[in-house]
Amino acid sequence: FPLTNAPDADADSIDDYIDAYPDNTNRAFNNPYPGEGQYASLAFEDLWPSRGDYDFNDLVINYNYNPITNANNLVTALEARIKVRAIGASFHNAFGVQLNIPQDKIASVSGQRFSTNILNVRANGTELNQSSAVVFFFDDAFSILPYPGSGVGINTNEEAPYVEPVEVTVTITFTEPVSLAQLGPAPYNSFIVVDGRREVEIHLPGESPTDLADTSLFGTGDDDSDIASAKYYMSDDNLPWALNIPMNFEYPEEKRVITNTYLNFDQWAVSRGSQFNDWYEDKSGYKNITFVYRR
């Protein structure tokens, strides 16, 4: 219950003892997903529209997205903690997010890590020539996680030296508050751009490309995307090229196909998630532990 005459330094009607930002009228509460100090995972296969080796370790990141809300429970900023864990590829991939708000609703972005010139970015940190707000956290995963000098990629071969994951923190500040419902659930529309080719994007299954994606690639190779039915980044049997796992993902070692590593993955994908939506969990008969990468 509220304390009588409790301090409220920023006069936002939220007492300091429950206000995470007692000196900031635009911020009051943290709403981190999957929880404070916790991380979920994203894993990408980067040879889309071809199936590739399908080991889902070409880029593995952990994420914690924290929508920061004001006294009215509206989002005024989004803090992203992106931890790069593995790069099982030679491609230099960029990682970003497309938000469900116009680009001009972004006041500023801090913490971005750019080492190339493949991205054209406005002064507010959003990408040019996009109608929605597209924010990149880094433009080359190899500039974040250093190559150890041997092995294929980084942290995908057990005989190669292990590299401690590196975290990038990016804060997106909005020009005006938006509702949690409008922002939607984490990880939002997270995606990669493949090897400096800006037109080649890989999104989570069912998530739409940005304005700069080359949609002529849809329906080529192993891809069965269909814009008319809003089927994106899935094969004809619904296999994806990107995964969102609500916990720390134990990804396959290099060249270990995910369907041979996680034994219910196929049924989950083909059923579009109606079966075995816990395929990634550590349950009896769920995975071949010998194919999982161990440091």
Distance CA 12, CA 16 (A): 10
Look at residue 89 and tell me whether its pLDDT is greater than 90.
no
Query: Is residue 34 within 8 Å of residue 246, measured between CB atoms?
Result: yes
The mean pLDDT value for 97-116 works out to: 97
Q: What percent of the chain has pLDDT over 70?
A: 98
Q: Which residues contact 5 (CB under 8 A, 6 or more apart)?
A: none
pLDDT attached to residue 4: 59
The mean pLDDT value for 89-102 works out to: 95
Query: Is residue 171 within 8 Å of residue 30, measured between CB atoms?
Result: no
Alpha helices by DSSP H, the chain = 180-183, 258-261, 265-270
Two tokens, residue 246: 């609500």
Distance CA 192, CA 210 (A): 11
pLDDT attached to residue 119: 98
Residue whose entry in the numeric block shows the structure tokens 């071809």: 50
Distance CA 90, CA 32 (A): 32
Q: Give the three-state DSSP class for 67.
A: strand
pLDDT attached to residue 151: 80
Q: Which of 70, 44, 55 is nearest to 187 (CA)?
A: 44
Residue whose entry in the numeric block shows the structure tokens 């995972």: 41
Mean pLDDT of the chain: 95
| Dihedral angle sign, alpha carbons of residues 235, 241, 242, 245 | positive
Q: Which of 236, 194, 173, 168 is nearest to 27 (CA)?
A: 173
The conformation of residue 240, written as its DSSP 8-state character, comes to B
Banded model confidence at residue 78, pLDDT cuts 50, 70, 90: very high
The mean pLDDT value for 22-51 works out to: 95
Distance CA 164, CA 38 (A): 17
Query: Is residue 12 within 8 Å of residue 71, measured between CB atoms?
Result: yes
Neighbours of 219 (CB within 10 A): 13
Look at residue 2 and tell me whether its pLDDT is greater than 60.
no
**Residue type at 71?**
A
Confirm whether pTM is higher than 0.85: yes
Q: Which of 225, 107, 223, 230 is nearest to 171 (CA)?
A: 107
Each residue of 117-172: pLDDT tens digit? 999 999 999 999 999 999 999 999 999 999 998 888 999 999 999 999 999 999 99
pLDDT attached to residue 125: 98
Q: What percent of the chain has pLDDT over 90?
A: 87
Look at residue 293 and tell me whether its pLDDT is greater than 80.
yes
Phi then psi for residue 154, to 5 deg, are: -135, 125
pLDDT attached to residue 106: 98
Query: Alpha carbon 152 to chain centroid distance?
Result: 23
Look at residue 294 and tell me whether its pLDDT is greater than 70.
yes
Query: Alpha carbon 188 to chain centroid distance?
Result: 8
CA dihedral 143, 145, 146, 149 (to 10 degrees): -130
pLDDT attached to residue 19: 85
The mean pLDDT value for 37-50 works out to: 98
Query: Is residue 66 within 8 Å of residue 79, measured between CB atoms?
Result: yes
